[in-house]
Amino acid sequence: QVQLVESGGGLVQPGGSLRLSCAASGISFSIYAMGWYRQAPGKQRDLVAAITGSGGTNYAASVEGRFTISRDNARNTVSLQMNSLQPEDTAVYCCNAQRWPERYWGQGTQVTVSS
């Protein structure tokens, strides 16, 4: 059974930082592309950042330079370091594992940026 379990969300003031982590089990982690998506209330779910099994990354334009995705294939984890957070970053952040045609999602973790 595949499980993706996110942690690290919470409430942070504008300009602050958070680090999200996702622990994966039930998959051969290193061969899956991993990603972080977010969904704000009333909006669609959008890709925030993704990383291939070999470490190639891509980011949404809105987070480029502020967020960093990384993975540890030995520990089956993927992380998202979020700096300079702004209120518009408020959303539920979900971890995703993908290897066509398979796609798995975590339950999500809430990130709220507010003063």
- Give the tens place of pLDDT for each residue, 45-58: 999 999 999 999 99
Per-residue pLDDT, 26: 96
pLDDT in tens, the chain (115 residues): 999 999 999 999 999 999 999 999 999 999 999 999 999 999 999 999 999 999 999 999 999 999 999 999 999 999 999 999 999 999 999 999 999 999 999 999 999 999 9
Q: How many CA atoms lie within 13 A of 81 on its CB side?
A: 6
- The residues, ordered by sequence, that sit 6+ positions from 102 with a Cβ below 8 Å of its Cβ are 32
CA 52, CA 114: separation in Å to the nearest integer?
A: 32
For residue 74, give both structure tokens: 């030995």
Q: What is the pLDDT of residue 78?
A: 98
Amino acid 64: pLDDT: 97
pLDDT for 62 equals: 97
Exposure of 88 by Cβ count < 10 A (0-12 exposed, 13-18 middle, 19+ buried)?
A: exposed
